[in-house]
Amino acid sequence: MIPNLNHQENIKQDTFAFIKALNESDYSGEIAKSYASRLAVATDNSVYQCLPQAVIYPKSTQDIVLICQLAQQPEFVDIRFSPRGGGTGTNGQSLTNDIVLDLSKYMNNILEINAEESWVRVQTGVVKDQLNDALRAHGLFFSPDLSTSNRATIGGMISNDASGQGSLIYGKTSDHVLALTSVLIDGSLLETKPLTAIDLMEQVERQDSIGAIYRQVIDTCESQKENIEQSFPKLNRFLTGYDLKHVYDHDTGTVDLTRILCGAEGSLAFITEATLHVQTIPTYRTLFNIKYDSFQSALQNAPFLVEANALSVETVDSTVLNLAKEDIVWHSVKELITDVPGQVLDGINIVEFAEADEAIQQQKIDALIVKLDTLISNKEAGVIGYQICNDLADINKVYGMRKKAVGLLGKADSTAKPIAFVEDTCVPPENLAQYIIEFRQLLDDKGLHYGMFGHVDAGVLHVRPALDLCDPEQEKLMREVSDKVVALTAKYKGLMWGEHGKGFRSEYGPAFFGEVLFNELRKIKTVFDPLNRVNPGKICTPIDSTEQLVSVDAVKRGAFDRQIPVKVRESYAPAIDCNGNGLCFNYDTTSPMCPSVKVSKDRVHSPKGRAGLMREWLRQLANNDIDILQLESDLYAGKNASIFTRFKNTLAKRSGEYDFSHEVMEAMKGCLACKACSSQCPIQVDVPTFRARFMHLYHDRYLRPMKDYFVAYVEQYAPLMGEMPRFFNFFTGLKVTSILTEKIVGMVDIPQLSSPTLKSSLKKNDITEFDLQKLQALSAAEREQYVLIVQDPFTTYYDADVVRDLLLTIKKLGYKPVMLPFKPNGKPQHIKGFLSKFAKTAKDSADFLNQMADLNIAMVGTDPAMVLCYRDEYEQALGNKRGEFDVQLFQEWLKPRLIGDAKPSVGADFYLLGHCTEKTAEPTSGNDWAVIFKHFGGSLSEVAVGCCGMAGTYGHDAGKLAESKAIYSLSWEAAIAQHERSQCLATGYSCRSQVKRIEGETLKHPVQALLSLL
């Protein structure tokens, strides 16, 4: 049995008192101090881990003013704060052991859009894609781009001075910031924008911290004019971190403190609002995917492409391409980047042209086509082919792949994982090819694996060497490589941080700025933050401070993870491998990725949050000398704790006894087990798998709630109740039964059993009964005409019409459907972590289905989640004992059997709202249905929706009812409202029952619509 994990990382006394005082003030935001909430922000995408004291989520600028004013009280002067947005930094910029000030949760409103004057005012917790979605209706967009655009915030972009694809034309974030509202640590409000003459004079004469800031900045810029000119390299990605080059215009005398804040990595002030310049969306866009025989050829050809006046040129190497090919994302681009027959494709350049004038655009495209054709026919420059996309959706797909590639670089099968520490160097573009040769040599000499891609137009190279930081020797190697890359980059007159900021690389700041200029930075830090309380250690320290800068030698995640035994790390790889890139925070409500974090806005309830908790749980168990793998095998062997022990432990839990496992359990209970993470996360962090294992172990210590049994045994009681549906429906339909079910069992909206039953429909519709001997006697040709239908408890007993229509459709198509006897699938047991029972159910069912598979007759199931369980959970539970049986989804079975020409269109348009488990695990499913409908004269389009909020039984859990409905309203509500209800289709039983209970009317399954077309 797992022990009670009662060790707590205690919060410091002054922080405790501060939180108490804040709670008692007019502060309107939220404060989190649970271990789980602190752990959720203890990492970003870097290798570092710092546990904060607490996390504060302000709701307004005034809240932050209050926080800072309170922090001025003498008893709180040792408390420090680090602002945080999406937490996607690659170098630990937002990490701290003090208090995290997270602006992403509440301060995410778009305040004003002025389309005429091309600007927008936002709170800084707004996500970049959220902003562009709002601007699209006005024909505008915020142009600085970055790979993390679906979760990085404007505050994080400003503070890291983010940029990416298209930066030669669009510049960096700082080029588009018109004004900022910030709060200083002393509580004063700093409004910044370009100031000239009188306005400037007024500020300089102020006798407060703001006056001191202006005076210091002007003094530094005037006294160091030449030094600044010489030290800041003339690169597109200039030297960030107190941008002395752009803050003061010596010709006009204009001072813009906004420039100092951009790229300051939250080390000067808390930026709460930003006014941003926005641009017109280019009307014409064209993308060339140019293919090369090697990465080096692609790199060397880049200047030639830049000369073609492209908006951007991006290079991707074969390692990254191959990683993308193995990921779900490749499915969306495989037609846009095809292989070249007879040639090895080892690198590509993605080149974009974007113009408002069609003629200019065409001219550029034609010119490049001529040049590329010449190179190809002369076999020059390693160009082996190219493809052009003009369609915006296709262009977005290619960029989607490119953006995900950064995350994919973090994926690896070995214990050495590609990590960020030298991942965004920047050199003058003309030096890039030579620089990369030396860079590769450096990594090759150390025997390190890596993939590369970059914004070659700007000289930025993305590379993540693979290291195992659980090995202390490899940690030393990281430091060695880091130092060598610093030297190499300096040799090529470049920058160590071309894109992602400094964070824990701040220690290299003096080397790049030079001692004199670095001292000026420290003077600037002093006037903003004299006591080093704002994101301390990042970029620089105040001039009189003796504190150190943060360093690449800081405590890393590996230091914690290495405490977990290797075997456990391997076994729990889906949790251990999360690298914190934050893709699971995707703000897009129409994406299936993590409904629980979307609805709760709580990072604890994200795949990353759950993976982090799991790692810590495993670490604590290891430190308690618990062999978790042994415990699990004991449970499988039936060695459970006694009911008395569990009762005793549960009483202790009810009386408030702390156990870290309860915090983990809370996070796991919020998970819908929709499995979107297991395919959408670039590292394939698979929460439902480790969640089930955790629950299995947890409930050996603590009693289960009654609803767990209610869910897990549905496959046992539904067939019995299904024999007398009207009798049971009468009881479950009574108000008193609903009240009792909610109060006693904790479940709501229990669905009614199907009446008439499936059994009676089969008889009425003359469906062949299952007779094994008869089937065995069929010839091979006859078997081709048969289809075996695999039942699941939900459609068979609660949605029998769907199964009936499936059988009728199969019949109408000229095949003979045969219903297999009902066999429990086990998925409900898996969801609730009854893993020992699930193993038995899965074994029984697999034995049966393998026996049926010997008949060599196709097997088809109805509900996607249940069918996919045979592929995934069965594989995990049974390994090679699973056997080779294959249960197909209806569309998988039918599509290859379509013969002859498509029927003429009958004008029937249908809309498919896909099941999240299905469309993430089998991304071609929507398209397969579309092909089938077209074949029979209909049309079907896939509607972009996230999760419906039901996810099996989650939506029936009384404690989750509000969340379930809120998830529905994130995307399904609007999607359903936009289309004729009768034309909306859903493959998932859960989705149909969620629509029914919320809209009062169910949706059809696609087979039912198909039947109407036949």
Ligand X SMILES: Cc1cc2nc3c(=O)[nH]c(=O)nc-3n(C[C@H](O)[C@H](O)[C@H](O)COP(=O)(O)OP(=O)(O)OC[C@H]3O[C@@H](n4cnc5c(N)ncnc54)[C@H](O)[C@@H]3O)c2cc1C
Provide the binding-site residues for ligand X, judged by CB under 6 A: 44-45, 82-90, 93-94, 103, 124, 146-148, 152-153, 155-157, 159-160, 162-164, 265-266, 270-271, 406-407, 499-501, 535, 581
Judged by CB under 6 A, does residue 419 bind ligand SF4?
A: no
CB 49, min distance to ligand SF4, A: 14
Residue 459 amino acid letter: G
Q: Least distance from C-beta 620 to ligand SF4, angstroms?
A: 20
When CB distances are held under 5 to 8 angstroms depending on the partner's kind, the choice from ligand X, ligand SF4, none that residue 153 binds is ligand X
Burial 754-785 (b: 16+ CB within 10 A, else e): beebbeebbeeeebeeeeeeebeebeeeebee
Residue 575 site contact among ligand SF4, ligand X, none (CB < 5 to 8 Å, cut-off depends on kind) = none
Decide if residue 147 touches ligand SF4 (CB under 6 A). Answer: no
The entry of ligand SF4, ligand X, none that residue 93 binds, CB within 5 to 8 Å by partner kind = ligand X
Task: Select the binding partner of residue 608 from ligand X, ligand SF4, none (C-beta < 5 to 8 A, by kind).
Answer: ligand SF4
Residues 6+ apart with CB under 8 A from 887: 790, 849, 859, 860, 861, 867, 870
Q: In the bound complex, which residue of the shown chain has the CB atom lying closest to ligand X?
A: 156
Of 15 and 272, which has the nearer Cβ to ligand X? 272
Q: In the complex with ligand X, which residue's Cβ is closer, 496 or 1007?
A: 496
Shortest Å distance, C-beta 147 to ligand X: 3
Q: What H or E segment, with its residue span, contains residue 693?
A: helix 687-701
Specify the residue, 427 or 671, whose C-beta has the smaller distance to ligand SF4. 671
Number of residues that bind ligand SF4 (CB under 6 A): 26
**Shortest reach from residue 92's CB to ligand X, in Å:** 9
Question: Does 86 help bind ligand SF4 (rule: CB under 6 A)?
Answer: no
By CB under 6 A, tell whether 429 contacts ligand SF4: no
Q: Which of 164, 241, 582, 926 lies at the binding interface for ligand SF4 (CB under 6 A)?
A: 582
Q: Cα-flanking dihedrals φ and ψ of residue 389, to 5°?
A: -120, 130
596 belongs to the binding site for ligand SF4 (CB under 6 A)? yes
Enclosing H/E stretch for 292: strand 284-292
Residue 89 site contact among ligand X, ligand SF4, none (CB < 5 to 8 Å, cut-off depends on kind): ligand X
With binding defined as CB under 6 A, does residue 1005 bind ligand SF4? no
What's the min distance (Å) between Cβ of 112 and ligand X?
A: 18
Instruction: DSSP for 603-642, please give it.
Output: GGGSHHHHHHHHHHHHHHHHHTT--HHHHHHHHHTT-PPP
Residue of 685, 807, 839, 945 interacting with ligand SF4 (CB under 6 A): 685
DSSP run (H or E) holding 353: strand 347-355
Q: Is residue 252 exposed (0-12), middle (13-18) or buried (19+ Cβ within 10 Å)? A: exposed
Q: Which among 958, 954, 960, 966 is positioned nearest to 993, based on CA atoms?
A: 954
C-alpha distance from residue 831 to each of 668, 747, 966 (Å): 11, 16, 21
For ligand SF4, the closer of residues 178 and 685 by Cβ is 685
Is residue 687 within the footprint of ligand SF4 (CB under 6 A)? yes
User: If you search the block for the tokens 């930003």, which residue do you land on?
Assistant: 274
Per-residue contact string for residues 652-671; x = within reach of ligand SF4 by CB under 6 A: -------------------x
Nearer to ligand X, 134 or 703 (CB): 134
584 sits near ligand SF4 (criterion: CB under 6 A): yes
- The region of 286-294, 581-589, 626-634, 724-732 touching ligand SF4 under the rule CB under 6 A is 581-589
Q: How far apart are CA 3 and CA 700, in angstroms?
A: 10
**Rounded Cα–Cα distance for residues 716 and 841 (Å):** 11
Q: Is 583 in the site for ligand SF4 (CB under 6 A)?
A: yes
CA distances from 275 to 258, 260, 313, 456, 702 (A): 11, 15, 29, 30, 53
Tell me which of 524, 683, 747, 868 binds ligand SF4, using CB under 6 A: 683
Report if residue 408 touches ligand SF4, rule: CB under 6 A: no
Q: DSSP secondary-structure letter at 743? A: I
Interacting residue with ligand SF4 among 235, 255, 578, 1003 (CB under 6 A): 578
Could you say which of 31, 257, 672, 950 contacts ligand SF4 (CB under 6 A)?
A: 672
Q: Which is nearer to ligand SF4, 98 or 963 (CB)?
A: 963
- Contact indicator for 154, 178 with CB cutoff of 8 Å: no
Minimal distance, residue 875 CB to ligand SF4, in Å? 17
Q: Give the span between the Cα atoms of 629 and 623, in whole angstroms.
A: 14
Nearest to 575 by CA among 612, 630, 550: 612
- Cα–Cα dist 469/577, whole Å: 12
Shortest approach of ligand SF4 to residue 1002 CB, angstroms? 24
d(CA 256, CA 918): 52
The only residue of 79, 406, 426, 681 in contact with ligand SF4, by rule CB under 6 A:
681
162: partner contacted, choices ligand SF4, ligand X, none (Cβ within 5-8 A by kind): ligand X
Using CB under 6 A, pick the residue from 364, 397, 556, 675 that binds ligand SF4.
675
Q: How far is the CB of 265 from ligand X (least distance, A)?
A: 4
Residue 347, contacted partner among ligand SF4, ligand X, none, CB below 5-8 A by kind = none
Which range touches ligand SF4 (CB under 6 A), out of 190-198, 364-372, 631-639, 675-683? 675-683
CA distances from 605 to 572, 598, 685, 826 (A): 19, 9, 14, 25
Residue 955 contact, options ligand X, ligand SF4, none, Cβ 5-8 Å cut-off depending on partner type: none
| For ligand SF4, the closer CB: 611 or 846 | 611
Is residue 595 part of the contact set for ligand SF4 (CB under 6 A)?
yes
Q: According to the binding rule CB under 6 A, does residue 695 interact with ligand SF4?
A: no
Beta bridge partners of 292: 347, 383
Cα 519 from Cα 534, distance rounded (Å): 18
CB 103 within 8 A of CB 181: no
Q: If binding is defined by CB under 6 A, does position 950 make contact with ligand SF4? A: no
> Strand runs (DSSP E) across 439-598, as ranges?
452-455, 460-463, 466-467
With CB under 6 A as the contact rule, the residue among 579, 649, 661, 841 that binds ligand SF4 is 579
SS (H, E, C) 80-103: CEEEECCCCCCCCCCCCCCEEEEC
> Smallest distance from the beta carbon of 695 to ligand SF4, in angstroms?
13
What is d(CA 891, CA 911) in angstroms, rounded to the nearest whole number?
A: 15
Q: End-to-end distance of the chain based on CA atoms, in angstroms?
A: 58
Q: Which does 676 bind (CB under 5 to 8 A by kind): ligand SF4, ligand X, none?
A: ligand SF4
Nearer to ligand SF4, 143 or 579 (CB): 579
Which of 68, 103 has the CB closer to ligand X?
103
Interface segment toward ligand SF4; rule CB under 6 A; list 456-464, 606-614, 697-705, 739-747: 606-614
CB proximity list for 537: less than 8 A, separation 6 or greater:
506, 547, 548, 549, 550
* 945 contacts ligand SF4 (rule: CB under 6 A): no
Angstrom distance (rounded) from CA 398 to CA 405: 11
From the list ligand SF4, ligand X, none, which binds 672 (C-beta under 5 to 8 Å, kind-based)? Answer: ligand SF4
Query: What angle do helix axes 197-204 and 209-223 make, rounded to 10 degrees?
Result: 120
163 binds, among ligand X, ligand SF4, none (CB under 5 to 8 A by kind): ligand X
Virtual CA dihedral for 424, 428, 433, 438, nearest 10 degrees? -70
Cα angle: 324, vertex 330, 335; to 5 degrees: 130
| Binding positions for ligand SF4, rule: CB under 6 A | 578-584, 594-596, 607-608, 610-611, 671-677, 681, 683, 685, 687-688
